[in-house]
Structure 1
Amino acid sequence: MKTIKSMLNHLYWADGRILDALEASDTKDKELLKLVRHIAVAERVWLSRLQGQGSAQYSLWEDTEELAAIQQMFEENAEQYRIYIEGLEESELDKMIDYASQSGVPFRTSVRDILLQVLLHGQYHRGQINRALRMDSAEPAPVDYITFARL
């Protein structure tokens, strides 16, 4: 549980860093903004599933130009994940969660695997964003876990 909590703390930090990099770049690249919004919405989708709620109301791929709205979503996600994790016993990590994908396909996945999905999914897309920032001669955000761990 200690590792998952530490990795979630990294996620909150990395979400903030990537938003800062996008804001500093003053990018108007709608695909990058769509991608960072996708990260925030996916975090929320998985949290809803962990909480036993549906997630059909969330659209994973929408255009946006509002970094402030995404930042607010990241902050709300972090607050809700903290509450969820604090109430979670280590023995519950192997509990199976029944849910439907965004397209309605039923699945059953452990809490542990869902949390790992959230952690890895965001890092994958932050890497894509950083690559695009570099290609646009903007400063990427160092979001590696080791950078966070050294703080």
Structure 2
Amino acid sequence: MQTIRRMMEHLYWADRRIMEALDENGTKDKDILKLVRHVAVAEQVWLSRLEGKGSSQYALWEEEDDVGTLKTMFEENERRYRNYIDRLEENRLDDIVEYANQSGVPFRTSVRDILSQVLLHGQYHRGQINRALRQDSAEPVQVDFITFARL
């Protein structure tokens, strides 16, 4: 659990850093904001599944032009994930979660693997967001784990 907790702390930190970069750069690029929203919604989708709820109410690829709304989404995600992780016991990491993906296809995945997906998915897209910020003549932000670990 210690590693998962640490990695989740990195996720919260990295999400905040991306939002700070958007604020600082005043980014209005719809593709960048759509990708940021995708990360926030994907976090919501996976947490909903971990909590035994459906996820069909979530649209993964909608546009959002309000940075404040995105910031609120990440703040809520952090609050909800902290609550979930605080209650999660190590002996439950290999429990199997049954869920349907956004297309309705059923799957069975361990809690451990779902949390790993959340962590890796966000980091993958934060790299894309940083690249897009650079192409938009904005300053990308350092979100590597080692940067977080050095704090």
Identity level (%): 68
Q: What is the number of equivalent residue pairs in this alignment?
A: 151
Q: For residue 11 of structure 1, what is the aligned residue in structure 2?
A: 11
Q: For residue 80 of structure 2, what is the aligned residue in structure 1?
A: 80
Paired residue secondary structure (1:94): coil
Q: Matches of 1:119 and 1:50 in 2, distance apart?
A: 14
Paired residue secondary structure (2:63): coil
Q: For residue 49 of structure 1, what is the aligned residue in structure 2?
A: 49
- Residue 70 in structure 1 maps to residue 70 in structure 2: yes
* CA offset digits 1:84-136 (Å, max 9, x no partner): 11111101000000000011000000000000000000000000010111122
* CA offset digits 1:39-88 (Å, max 9, x no partner): 00000000000000001000000011111111111111111111111111
Q: For residue 110 of structure 2, what is the aligned residue in structure 1?
A: 110
Q: Matches of 1:28 and 1:77 in 2, distance apart?
A: 23
Q: Matches of 1:95 and 1:112 in 2, distance apart?
A: 8
Q: CA RMSD in A?
A: 0.7
Structure 1 residues without counterparts, runs of 5 or longer: none
Q: For residue 38 of structure 1, what is the aligned residue in structure 2?
A: 38
Q: For residue 144 of structure 2, what is the aligned residue in structure 1?
A: 144
Q: For residue 22 of structure 1, what is the aligned residue in structure 2?
A: 22
TM-score computed with the length of structure 2 as normaliser: 0.98
TM-score computed with the length of structure 1 as normaliser: 0.98
Structure 2 residues without counterparts, runs of 5 or longer: none
**2:106 maps to amino acid:** P
**1:107 maps to amino acid:** F
Moved over 6 A (4+): none
Q: Matches of 1:88 and 1:46 in 2, distance apart?
A: 15
Q: Matches of 1:64 and 1:120 in 2, distance apart?
A: 23
